[in-house]
């Protein structure tokens, strides 16, 4: 029997937070509903962040209110602070994610504080989430390279990852935010992290700027990671990571996993339906063309 891998769909959040085209709230809801019929069990639907910082996520509450809740699917949202957490809880998020950075420059640009300040800010969010019985996930951005500071040391990633796990995150997703990670760099990073952290508590979140994301997934599988974030159609980027491309695209990821004998439990036809739906609605469509069959 083939071994199970979880694909964590982040397209509706990471994919659309920086999308140049204005995607209607109804279309976001329709996309999430289509994704809910693909076998995915985890979908990051939106983020409850400041609408001044990320205008594309200003409709978070309306998105959460409009989606159909499929049984067995966990709908997650990013929450940068208690204000965001309270809104996510009120909107019925099953899971919230706190998101830190391994580099000071990105932390400052993305969430307007130092790494240490961010961890102080996340501690009460984590406590409130666990208290409310919600699943709590963590992210560490810039695990390989920072758009403002260059190379990031694995030790810095380990320290922030430990802090997030210590707050009760069931898993920390490792963000190659600008997609510059080579398989060699990911190998070095994971050799360090898995020396002290169980691989089951780590996920890979590889943006695909340099076309290395699938190779990086292969490397991470070799280190025992079994959860990978992806975005339908390879949508996305971060408004505070200039030049970053989308996440690894869901359909090619699932195809690669299947070819390697991994079981993701996903319906490729249904995923392609969701991909086709989005390709008509976003300016980043050229990237979608590449993902067909």
Task: Give the residue numbers marked as catalytic.
Answer: 238
User: 207 Cβ partners below 8 Å, 6+ apart?
Assistant: 175, 176, 177, 178, 179, 213, 236, 237, 241, 244, 245, 246, 247, 248
> Are the beta carbons of 93 and 64 closer than 8 angstroms?
yes
Strand duo 145-146 + 150-151: pairing:
antiparallel
User: 66 Cβ partners below 8 Å, 6+ apart?
Assistant: 25, 26, 29
Query: Residue 84's binding partner, choosing from ligand HMG, Mg ion, none, with beta-carbon cut-off 5 to 8 A by kind?
Result: ligand HMG
Q: Is 3 exposed, middle or buried (0-12, 13-18, 19+ CB in 10 A)?
A: exposed
Strand duo 202-206 + 6-9: pairing:
unpaired
Q: Is 47 in the site for ligand HMG (CB under 6 A)?
A: yes
Binding mask 13-32 for ligand HMG (x = CB under 6 A): -x--x---------------
Q: Minimum Å distance from CB 2 to Mg ion? A: 28
Query: Residue 109's binding partner, choosing from Mg ion, ligand HMG, none, with beta-carbon cut-off 5 to 8 A by kind?
Result: none
Q: Is 111 in the site for ligand HMG (CB under 6 A)?
A: yes
Q: Is 212 in the site for ligand HMG (CB under 6 A)?
A: no
Q: Is 83 in the site for ligand HMG (CB under 6 A)?
A: yes
Q: Is 44 in the site for Mg ion (CB under 5 A)?
A: no
The residue ranges that bind Mg ion (CB under 5 A) are 14
The residue ranges that bind ligand HMG (CB under 6 A) are 14, 17, 47-50, 52-54, 78, 80-81, 83-84, 99, 110-112, 139, 141, 175, 177, 205, 207, 238, 240
């Amino acid at each position: 029997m083939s071994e199970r891998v979880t694909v964590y769909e982040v397209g509706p959040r990471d994919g659309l937070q920086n999308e140049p085209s204005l995607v209607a709230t109804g279309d976001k809801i329709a996309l999430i509903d289509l994704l809910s019929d693909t076998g995915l069990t985890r979908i990051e639907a939106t983020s409850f962040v400041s609408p001044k910082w990320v205008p594309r996520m200003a409709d978070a509450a309306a998105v959460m209110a409009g989606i159909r809740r499929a049984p067995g699917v966990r709908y997650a949202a990013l929450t940068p602070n208690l204000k965001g957490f309270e809104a996510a809880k009120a909107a019925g998020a099953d899971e919230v994610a706190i998101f830190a950075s391994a580099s000071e420059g990105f932390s400052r640009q993305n969430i307007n504080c130092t790494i240490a300040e961010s961890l102080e800010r996340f501690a009460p969010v984590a406590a409130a989430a666990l208290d409310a019985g919600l699943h709590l996930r963590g992210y560490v951005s810039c695990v390989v390279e920072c758009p403002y500071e260059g190379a990031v040391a694995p030790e810095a990633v380990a320290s922030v990852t430990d802090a997030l796990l210590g707050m009760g995150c069931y898993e920390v997703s490792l963000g190659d935010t600008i997609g510059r990670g080579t398989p060699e760099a990911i190998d070095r990073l994971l050799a360090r992290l898995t020396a002290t952290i169980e691989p089951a508590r780590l996920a890979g979140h590889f943006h695909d700027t340099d076309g290395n994301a699938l190779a990086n997934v292969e490397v991470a599988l070799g280190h025992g990671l079994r959860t990978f974030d992806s975005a339908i159609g390879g949508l996305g980027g971060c408004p505070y990571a200039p030049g970053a491309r989308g996440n690894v695209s869901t359909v090619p990821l699932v195809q690669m996993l299947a070819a390697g004998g991994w079981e993701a439990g996903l319906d490729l036809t249904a995923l392609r339906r969701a991909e086709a739906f989005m390709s008509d609605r976003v300016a980043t469509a050229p990237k979608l063309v590449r993902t067909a069959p």
